Amino acid sequence: MLSEFIRGFGVTLKHMVRKPVTIQYPEKKKDYAARYHGRHQLNRYADGIEKCIGCELCAWACPADAIYVQGADNTPDARFSPGERYAIDYQINYLRCIFCGLCIEACPTRALTMTQEDEVTSTTRESMIFTKEMLLAPVVAGVKPAPHTDAEVTARGEEYYGGFAFTTPLASAQAAEGQAGVSGPASLGTEPPPAGVGPSLPTTRETDQAATALNAEPAPFAPEARSEDIVPEEIKHDE
């Protein structure tokens, strides 16, 4: 019993003599752990195509009903994401979000990740609902933002779901058909691109990190720039 008292008060005494940690916020900011759950980010592939496929899994996983996704079809002349669908509207209500991260666990394409940005405050309810434009990662310099045409995407020859390594269209096709030389999914993403096919693209992880770095100093938050009519009725009425 006595030893527990001594141990308990020892912790108190240790903190009494410890040097105080003072950070001159907002001029200086605290460094958070890499896994810190801050504001969300909607990521892109290296070529500017959006990773979000509008599947709504994040919205279904969210325990606070904080996410609103509306999907739409890609067309040959306007391709926003790989596959059939993309998110024509995407919103996160930060009055509801508890920063649990379940949404990013549910996302099948790593479209949704969390940054270390922690300044998510405002004076109006409407401006706490972040739109797709506010959440979308900026494009890397020199890259055209989505939408692209199917012809542009095909010419690049990128396999968006090939994992960390580049997968050529040829390797993907051979694997799908079970042809010799490509033994199955394990070999996907291991083939170097043939000369002249597509640019040398960074990996998915590198793209996410580059986008996060670009977002390290996001544009000043301007609630007045928002329009109330972008808030869907179902979100407004629930508040």
Strands 112-114 vs 85-93: parallel, antiparallel or unpaired: unpaired
CB of residue 18 vs ligand SF4: minimum separation in angstroms? Answer: 33
Exposed, middle or buried by CB within 10 Å (0-12, 13-18, 19+), for 231? buried
Element (H, E) at 42: strand 40-42
Stretch that binds ligand SF4, among 19-27, 60-68, 203-211, 218-226 (CB under 6 A): 60-68
Stretch that binds ligand SF4, among 27-35, 66-74, 135-143, 160-168 (CB under 6 A): 66-74
- Beta strand spans in 64-206 (E): 67-73, 85-93, 112-114, 129-130
Closest listed residue to residue 76, CA positions, set 10, 151, 156? 151
Q: Which of 46, 49, 107, 211 binds ligand SF4 (CB under 6 A)?
A: 107
CB of residue 61 vs ligand SF4: minimum separation in angstroms? Answer: 6
User: Does 98 help bind ligand SF4 (rule: CB under 6 A)?
Assistant: yes
User: Does 211 help bind ligand SF4 (rule: CB under 6 A)?
Assistant: no
147 cis-preceded (ω within 30 degrees of 0): yes
Contacts with ligand SF4, residue ranges (CB under 6 A): 52-58, 61-62, 64, 66-67, 69, 87, 92, 97-103, 106-107, 109, 111-112
